[in-house]
Amino acid sequence: MSSSEDFFVRLEQLNEAGAALSKERHITSLLDQILLAAKRLTRADGGTLYRMSEDRQALRFEILHTDSLGLAMGGNSGHRVELPDLPLLDSAGQPNNNMVAVCAVNNRRTINVADAYTDSTYDFSGTRQFDQLNSYRSKSLLAVPMKDQQGQIIGVLQLINSVHPGTGEIQAFSMADQSLVEWLASQAAIALSNRLLLTQLETLFESLIKLINTAIEDKSKYTGGHCSRVPELTLMLADAAAQTTQGPLADFTMSEQDRYELKIAGLLHDCGKITTPVHVVDKATKLQTLFDRIGLIDTRFEVLKRDAQIAALQKQLALRVCVDPQAEALAESTCRAELTVLDADRDFLRVANLGSEAMDDAALARVETLASSRTWRNPEGQEAVFLSSDEQHNLSIRAGTLTAAERGIINHHIVATNKMLEQLPWPSHLRRVPEFAGGHHERMDGKGYPKGLRREQMSVQARIMGIADIFEALTAADRPYKKGMTLSQSLGILRKLKESGHIDPDLFDVFMSQGIYLRYARKFLPPAQIDLAAADLLAA
């Protein structure tokens, strides 16, 4: 092959390397590709890639490869580079131009050395020490600074010992070699800068998401854990579904980019809760607003009890003139009977306020009777109804602690989530985040909210998030209105939701058959909730 033909072959290799670099997402792999491409283009036996330190005062060893020694450090090799940084300035604060890589940075130019042992311009004592320790002979050397779009040097490519393709002899790096590596270094610097910028933007974006979730957590201690646990469970189930090779989910796959998109959706799935009033989110009892108003009702009962006792004593005093023991005893027993009724009514309202048990018609009628038939004398001395209409309305909640209006406020968080996410200018690789995050309260039968979507109208990812959201809520022990359910109780409910058309049946089967519930439980649930024997029966 002629030299011109060889150059064009290597030029084609350069184009292929440039295209590959532009697609690489991982910094470590990108650095590996840069160095390996430079070695391949120049047929170099060894090479080192340096990156500028954060303070721009030194060059840091990132990757080192020497083929003839079988030496690979840094990058994807699995072996750390245990070599000191190369300072750009000496102890006197002057440019440290003895070392070739540093000199290439300080002088912003390529340095091409034909023989390190005969060249007296640079300090090759470190090179010779390396050679002595490894029985190696460093001869030709090429150091090329990597400049980004702004002309700022971000690293150095250093290549050692160009090998002649025919004879295998070590030769100097040619001008063609130098030109090719300079072109590669330019493309590599741009690719690396772009990747670093994207990584910084992703880090910033995720930090902003965590900031939102921190605000939600600080606002309500009961929802912060949910915001972090749901994304993890979502990815556990998504990974298992993507690994399925048979059945309805056999065609479902996820690239690394798809997985990142789902992760972001998981982190943002409840961002709308930042708009939900804290007294509704944290409503642990039916009468709770800024405080639990059952205390006010307790006070009213105490007032009634004191009134009853005072009335009895007044009757007894009125009888002191004639001294009628029988009448006094009757007054006292009547008082005790009334106090017993008041205590019973108070205990009933305390239990009703908890919302842990469903209210039947008889219980609702009793609340109504207490609200309409009992009165008390308020601090102004006026006769007042014992329960206000709002208190009666809240105490008449059949199940849970939320009224229909408050349930609507809670449900509005997903509307707020959709509104917030749909207004953002998502890049193409994150464009489905609003759909994934906004669909976790939809149902397979179309009875969910906010859009009433059916199964076929939803992505697999949104259906996955729906299961993760429900299972986390069932098992969560940090809710204000309930204790965390055991594993078997939660799985039993989840199975019923599958049968009723609430959740995706195929994903439920993966959730059970792949033991996702158990992996999650072992990571997040206390041992007391993990009743494995019962759970295994459900999974069978």
Q: What is the pLDDT of residues 209-243, one digit of tens each?
A: 888 877 777 776 665 578 889 999 999 999 999 99
- Predicted pLDDT of residue 295: 76
Q: Please enumerate in sequence order all residues whose Cβ is within 8 A of that of 274, keeping only pairs 6 or more positions apart, or say none.
A: 212, 215, 216, 219, 416
User: Mean pLDDT throughout 88-107?
Assistant: 89
Alpha-carbon span 413 to 415, nearest angstrom: 5
Element (H, E) at 87: strand 86-87
Task: Answer whether 159's CB lies under 8 Å from 173's CB.
Answer: yes
CA-angle at 232, arms to 199 and 439, nearest 5°: 95
- Predicted pLDDT of residue 7: 57
Alpha-carbon span 184 to 190, nearest angstrom: 10
User: Mean pLDDT throughout 72-82?
Assistant: 87
Task: Of 14-18, 50-54, 525-529, give the lowest mean pLDDT range.
Answer: 14-18
Q: Is the peptide bond before 84 cis (omega within 30 degrees of 0)?
A: no
pLDDT at 477 over 90: no
DSSP code per residue over 264-329: HHHHHTTGGGGGS-HHHHT--STTBSSSBTHHHHHHHHHHHHHHHHHHHHHHHHHTTTT--HHHHH
The fold of the 3-198 domain, in CATH, is Beta-Lactamase (3.30.450)
Distances, alpha carbon 111 to alpha carbons 24, 90, 142, 181, 528, in Å: 28, 20, 6, 12, 67
Q: 417: buried, middle or exposed (CB in 10 Å: 19+, 13-18, 0-12)?
A: buried
This model's pTM is above 0.85: no
User: Mean pLDDT throughout 502-509?
Assistant: 95
Q: Would you place residue 516 in the very low, low, confident or very high pLDDT band (cuts 50, 70, 90)? A: very high
Partners of residue 292 on adjacent β-strands: 288
Alpha-carbon span 284 to 393, nearest angstrom: 16
Q: What is the CATH number of domain 220-276+412-539?
A: 1.10.3210.10
Element (H, E) at 462: helix 460-475
pLDDT at 5 over 70: no
User: Mean pLDDT throughout 129-134?
Assistant: 88
Task: Answer whether 134's CB lies under 8 Å from 140's CB.
Answer: no
Task: Of 246-250, 282-286, 437-441, give the lowest mean pLDDT range.
Answer: 282-286
Domain boundaries, the chain: 3-198, 220-276+412-539, 294-401
Buried b (16+ CB within 10 A) or exposed e, 3-39: eeeebeebeeebeebbeebeebeebeebbbbbbbbbb
Give me 337's structure tokens.
Answer: 């009977």
Task: Answer whether 480's CB lies under 8 Å from 284's CB.
Answer: yes
- How many helices (H) and strands (E) the chain has is answered by 19, 10
